[in-house]
Structure 1
């Protein structure tokens, strides 16, 4: 059993490619937001509505198949090679089933936004994007399954390389298809959707090729008897993954609800919210990457029944995430106006109000960076212990019974408008962070280590 220095070294070696890969993954959306902004505030607002609708449902699916990560990590710790193959195979099954179930719901975007009183022009343009973007569901969730396998065995650099390649491909496809360069038709939001689908297909194909051909992963034979069901493990993925998916859904849908509230305030508020949220999401990718590393490190220690290893893995990731978020908080507070000007051209008079609003939202985002990082690392550490149900309940209550009511109260009743909505988001994140960190701290007292009789 190594000391804190060994844990720092192992966590950092595992996490840094994952962190950069998460930043690159976020850059896929940032590229879309940036280029939608170049099309104008209306296109940016419509794209924001589209992503606010599809992302909560998509990320629910990502959360479910994300159960592959703790399960493969625990199997590695227990040295159960056969279980790894079966978990990955059933992860693909789960991704396919989820894609079939979510697609019909996502395609109802125009109807849902009509019920919610959104601008019909913006809703129609959002539907144009969704009708194509929905095709990325299975390949994108398949990528998560393979990333979980690769992360479990510390093969994170290939994840980084493939993700960066995806960012470059997405930017190139957007440039060609959104704006109609080199003789191609100008497809605007449809072009962005096509680029997203192409990029996810590329990333899935690249990762699958690597896993099937690399000598370290050939032994798992993940596609052998692919069509043979393994119902116990299929059920286990949904048993552990569904609470993860609902936890992710609770948080992401909180931000989606905030976007809907912003839409009621006006196009400038919605566009400013999109910019500030994109910046906050980019910083969030660092503790998210550390959280994935925490799941793997805690899961491996859990599989080999190492209570001290669990303690060090969880707290080391927590410390690294907190330190980074303190730095990002200072950047948002001090340099907010310069940051948001990257997304909306300050030389265009029509953008002046949106830029001012975005800078004010980003300053508030800086204030909750610390709690945002704390809650995501704590949640992932608990997932390494297969503890997902109670954290799910904590998240749902914190985001929807604390965060959203405060956002509505401060935004509309107290008439703080967009600033009040963002203060509500901060309150929800802080509440959940306190509960999750306390739960990990009390893991032994709560009996979270008993299932494997850890000594």
Structure 2
């Protein structure tokens, strides 16, 4: 949905694309912590299934309810923060006009957060049950709906008012609402899930299950926020030092985020397969297979980004717009760098999913903290002075390679017969 929205926003003008990127940088940083909390549902359900014990419907229902309640707890203060996005962005050195435009976009877009997290709770459950079809169907439907609503609301087609950037934010909110509602209906009426009675007793807070998810999910969420926070800080750096290249940065970031989704899906499958394996050898085999699949997908993406960047960039920007040629040249260079870090990004997310299957989350969080904020961002700060946007992306790449190598070493200890990583 972010990709389709960015493609439509880019047709307004490059400045609108830059403003939406700043807004999304804040939004996604907040969203990722909620994603970490929901990610804890999959290994807990999968471990119980893999142990041979009967996974009771009550236990599964409590985990799902805990996911809903935890996200409500997270969302309320986040909404307050995002409502004040303009002063936050100005504090980060952004131009007042750009900060105000990004904040106006977020004033609509931010309400997408809760329905998005509701969808992700249910998707995590379906992943753990190894029945992801409904999640795929509703996700694809939401992407199509988002594209249509963007077309209707940005330029005011079919007699609707032309809302510009605000129309795109409204389109994404409505698409997330559809996604959460459609998947809720699907799990409620599908005979395979009806016996879980997922929405029965939802008004009662399952405090113990909430605490369990926090214990496992908070380190996951913090680790993801550290990664996304690095990209958010990188966006702020680009906007401060090289605002002309901010649209090029936005294009490269959206494309890299889109190609990242396949390794992310493989990582989620790795979590379930590693957690559900009855023996160490089977768990290790599942992990190594997932890693090879993730790297294979990343290599294919890298080849495309490096060899044919122009057609991809053309999806986001009108060549007739003033400054479009300069944006195209800058974006092509960034896509080349993004092609290189595809491999590291895929490796780190799949390795994180593999370790998550072992319920090993604290050490990966510390590795993320060191790699992103001790290596990647400091290098970006150093290189941005002379190399601007390119220097920032080199710093991002260094951080991703560092975390990938450290996680690989941690997984190697387990898979080669060493001591199993301690449970979070």
When the two structures are superposed, what TM-score results if normalisation uses the length of structure 1? 0.89
Q: Which residue of 1 aligns with 2:66?
A: 90
Q: Which residue of 1 aligns with 2:87?
A: 111
Q: Which residue of 1 aligns with 2:255?
A: 279
Moved more, 367-376 or 70-79: 70-79
Moved more, 204-213 or 260-269: 260-269
Q: Distance in 1 between matches of 2:200 and 2:322?
A: 60
Q: CA contact under 8 A between 1:68 and 1:88: conserved in structure 2?
A: yes
Map of 1:335-346 to 2, 5 A cutoff?
A: 335-346=308-319
Please state if 1:417 is matched with 2:388: yes
Please state if 1:320 is matched with 2:293: yes
Offset of 1:199 from its aligned partner? Answer: 0.7
Q: Which residue of 2 aligns with 1:31?
A: 4
Cα displacement string for residues 41-100 of structure 1 (whole angstroms, at most 9, x for unaligned residues): 111111111111111111111111221111121222233223212111111111111111
Offset of 1:450 from its aligned partner? Answer: 7.6
Q: CA contact under 8 A between 1:41 and 1:267: conserved in structure 2?
A: no
Please state if 1:173 is matched with 2:149: yes
Q: CA contact under 8 A between 1:76 and 1:84: conserved in structure 2?
A: no
Q: CA contact under 8 A between 1:75 and 1:84: conserved in structure 2?
A: no
Name the count of aligned residue pairs: 419
- Structure 2: tracts of 5 or more residues without a match: none
Q: Which residue of 2 aligns with 1:161?
A: 137
Q: CA contact under 8 A between 2:156 and 2:162: conserved in structure 1?
A: yes
Q: Distance in 2 between matches of 1:327 and 1:262?
A: 28
Q: Distance in 1 between matches of 2:65 and 2:282?
A: 28
Please state if 1:448 is matched with 2:424: no
Q: CA contact under 8 A between 1:129 and 1:189: conserved in structure 2?
A: yes
Q: CA contact under 8 A between 2:358 and 2:423: conserved in structure 1?
A: no
Please state if 1:125 is matched with 2:101: yes
In structure 1, the residue corresponding to 2:318 is in which secondary structure?
A: coil
Please state if 1:195 is matched with 2:171: yes
Q: Which residue of 2 aligns with 1:16?
A: none
Offset of 1:347 from its aligned partner? Answer: 3.9
Offset of 1:131 from its aligned partner? Answer: 0.9
When the two structures are superposed, what TM-score results if normalisation uses the length of structure 2? 0.96
Please state if 1:432 is matched with 2:407: no
In structure 2, the residue corresponding to 1:39 is in which secondary structure?
A: coil
- Structure 1: tracts of 5 or more residues without a match: 1-27
Cα displacement string for residues 343-366 of structure 1 (whole angstroms, at most 9, x for unaligned residues): 122344421111110000110111
Cα displacement string for residues 388-414 of structure 1 (whole angstroms, at most 9, x for unaligned residues): 1110010011001100011111121xx
Offset of 1:208 from its aligned partner? Answer: 0.8
Q: Distance in 2 between matches of 1:306 and 1:44?
A: 49
Q: CA contact under 8 A between 1:65 and 1:91: conserved in structure 2?
A: yes
Q: Which residue of 1 aligns with 2:14?
A: 41
Please state if 1:146 is matched with 2:122: yes
Q: Distance in 2 between matches of 1:254 and 1:163?
A: 27
Q: Which residue of 2 aligns with 1:378?
A: 351
Q: CA contact under 8 A between 2:65 and 2:205: conserved in structure 1?
A: no
Please state if 1:210 is matched with 2:181: no
Q: Distance in 2 between matches of 1:153 and 1:137?
A: 25
Q: Which residue of 2 aligns with 1:58?
A: 31
Q: Distance in 1 between matches of 2:68 and 2:7?
A: 32
Please state if 1:266 is matched with 2:242: yes
Offset of 1:190 from its aligned partner? Answer: 1.2
Q: CA contact under 8 A between 2:360 and 2:423: conserved in structure 1?
A: no
Q: Distance in 2 between matches of 1:219 and 1:194?
A: 35
Cα displacement string for residues 237-273 of structure 1 (whole angstroms, at most 9, x for unaligned residues): 1111111111111111111111111101333311000
Q: Which residue of 2 aligns with 1:12?
A: none
